[in-house]
Amino acid sequence: MADKDQADVSGQQSNPLSRKLNKILETRLENDKDLLEALKAMSSFFMENNLRSRRNLRSDIEKRSLAINEEFLSAFQAVKEQLDSVYGDVKAMSDCCQDMTNRLKAAKAQTNHLISQTTKLHAESQKLHMKQEVASSFLEKFQLKVDEIKVLRGHRDGSLHEDFFKALKRVKQIHSDCKVLLRTNQQTAGLEIMESMALQLESAYERLYRWTQKALQDRPVLFKYSMDEYGTARRSAVVRGFIDALTRGGPGGTPRPIELHSHDPLRYTGDMLAWVHQATASEKEYLQTLLRLCQASSASVEDNLGHITEGICRPFKVRVEQVLVSEQEAVTLYKLDNLLKFYHNTISQIVAADSAVLITITEVQDLSHRMFFNSLTCHANRLLDKVDLPPADLGPTSSLTQTLQLLRDVLACHDASVVPVDDKKQDYKQILSCVIDPLLQMCSMSASRLNTVDMAAYMINCIYLIHSTLALYQFTDTRLEMLQAQTEAHVDTLVSEQAAYVLNRVGLTYVYSCIQQYTDSQGPLSQMQGMDTISVKSAMNKFDSYLASPDSLALPQCGLLLGTLLRETVKRRSVELICQAYQQMYAAITDPKQEYKDPQSTVPRTPEQVLKLLS
């Protein structure tokens, strides 16, 4: 039974109609909106549910659908016609726009260059407008107005406009503002404007100066007050300038401060004197320029100049005195003395003789002169206090050499100086007296313990060195003559000693002495003791040996003489003296009254032969 039920169920599931019915039966109509809408629409024309209606239902539905489509088609036909009309209008507008676009493109292509130029010119116009505004502001700030220029130029009669000082202040302000331009890339413009304003300032000050001169010309008391005020102001400025030059130097440190060279007396003093000279000359030039159109005498200029430069006297004098007092070297002191003399003579051509600055220079120059000669005197006293002994070679001592070197240094710097000739001559006289006399005295004291020959040779050497030193300089002729005379005296001594030494060594001293002292009352020389033929002939033989080698009997002191000419002079004059002695002996021995047997064998050589052999 169960098997039969399953078979029925499976048969129903395999039947399509059954499946559709089951599906319809299972469908819930209230949930299918489309089906409900379809049934509602169908109820409007499906009035009767009979066989015919059901059979014609599809046909009715199709007819109804066709009718609806026809209605829809006819409705859309009108829409289409309207759309076609709209399309035609739009197409016509599109063609028109395209045509206008093409024409615009063509016009734009034709006017593109013009538009570019117009844009460029517009930009340039804006730039030019901006530049014009900048230039106007620049000119307003850095240029004078026409009215200001006229005010600065003044009137033809020399009077000044009441706004003159305002315009002058404006010029100064522009000149000061130009310093800002110098720190930018507008340096050229800044320099040109500064130069222009400087010329305007110079011209304005010139007109102000002329106006002041004209105003003060007929008011002597007011003029004097003005000059006093000017002198006081310039005096303060000169003093400040001198102190700044000493301690701070020039602008930017160039030149360097003078006191940096205080360790060098010459440069220190020379820089100060040069500054004083320059300042004095500049102040005199300022005064002469200031008063060139005024009826002011040269005495007024000199008085004002003396008042202006008086302020630097004290600081200058204090510093120079410190240099002179602390300096010990005579050469440096003498150079300072000549330097002060030179600037004294130079500045005296600028200021009056009674001006304070010239008096101050005279005072410090006198001090330097005294300090120099005090230094030489102290040196000379030291020479005499401690006298050196002569060296073994009888040459000059170290004291003599050092003193002569000092003298050369002093005279050399004196020759290089540009002081007047009369001053030079007077200085030479004082210097030589201060040095040469103590030097000769020292040499004499040093030679006092020597024998005659050594003393003569030593003094000749010392005087020769002194003479050689002085011969190089002018104004020394008197001293050279004195030294030459002293040298001659010592040369005579040395010549006499050399001749006596030769005669003594050859044994002719006694013969020569007897002949010199002989008188006729003594009888023939041959009869005198020691004057016999044998004795005389023996001495003559020794003398003949000397003639063969004259240098063998030369005094060693003669070879120690420094000057070649002196050595030759001593040798020549000693030979002459020996020849004179031989001539006297020859004449006496060959005299028949002296009764010498065969005198030709006793003195075989004539005086001429002896002179020839010794020459």
What residue segments make up the domains of the chain, in order of their start?
79-135, 220-381, 386-614
Question: With respect to CATH, is domain 386-614 assigned 2.170.120.12?
Answer: no
Q: Which helix (H) or strand (E) holds 334?
A: helix 330-347
Q: Is the whole-model pTM more than 0.75?
A: no
Residue 1: predicted pLDDT: 47
pLDDT tens-digit map of 367-417: 999 999 899 888 888 888 888 888 888 888 888 889 889 888 888 886 666
Distance CA 412, CA 331 (A): 10
pLDDT at residue 432 tops 80: yes
Mean pLDDT to the nearest integer, 572-582: 85
Distance CA 4, CA 510 (A): 212
Mean pLDDT to the nearest integer, 505-533: 76
Radius of gyration of the chain (CA): 68
Q: At what angle do helices 313-326 and 220-247 cross, to 10 degrees?
A: 30
Q: Is 397 left (phi over 0), alpha (psi -120 to 50) or beta?
A: beta
By percentage, how much of the chain surpasses pLDDT 70?
Answer: 90
Distance CA 608, CA 75 (A): 185
Which two tokens mark 465? 């060195």
The single-letter DSSP state of residue 222 is H
Q: Sorting pLDDT into bands at 50, 70 and 90, what band is 245?
A: very high
Distance CA 315, CA 595 (A): 96
Tokens 């440096």 found at: 332
| Bond before 599 cis per omega within 30 degrees | no
Which two tokens mark 353? 């003789």
Distance CA 461, CA 400 (A): 11
Q: Do the Cβ atoms of 454 and 390 come closer than 8 Å?
A: yes
pLDDT tens-digit map of 132-159: 888 787 777 778 888 888 887 777 666 7
Lowest mean pLDDT segment, chosen from 175-179, 346-350, 575-579: 175-179
